[in-house]
């Protein structure tokens, strides 16, 4: 698995494919409403469904992010997400 879990931290490594969605969703549901730390320093790419879960969780709860040295597209998406512009609730 490319995502490992320890406490309230999820570490994403390499490429995160759609087969990680269910386990990641379960992790977020189990930890809600706690703050989650995402270590993505070793991550190359993340499937959009996993990013959507991050954004949905961030709408109601809190994340801290740890990125690698090189800025990736998923980092730009997550940093540009403004929860005040999301009218899902």
Domain 3-70 is of which CATH architecture?
A: 2-Layer Sandwich (3.30)
Give the domain ranges of the chain: 3-70
pLDDT in tens, 5-37: 999 999 999 999 999 999 999 999 999 999 999
What is the rounded (10 degree) CA torsion for 29, 35, 41, 42? -20
On the question of pLDDT at 88 being above 80, the answer is no
21's tokens: 């969605």
């Amino acid at each position: 698995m490319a995502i490992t879990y320890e406490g309230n931290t999820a570490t994403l490594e390499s490429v995160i494919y759609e087969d990680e969605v269910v386990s990641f969703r379960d992790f977020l549901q189990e930890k809600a409403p706690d703050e989650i730390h995402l270590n993505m320093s070793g991550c190359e790419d993340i499937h959009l469904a996993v990013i959507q879960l991050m954004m949905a969780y961030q709408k109601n709860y809190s994340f801290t992010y740890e990125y690698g040295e090189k800025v990736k597209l998923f980092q730009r998406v997550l940093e540009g997400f403004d929860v005040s512009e999301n009218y899902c609730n």
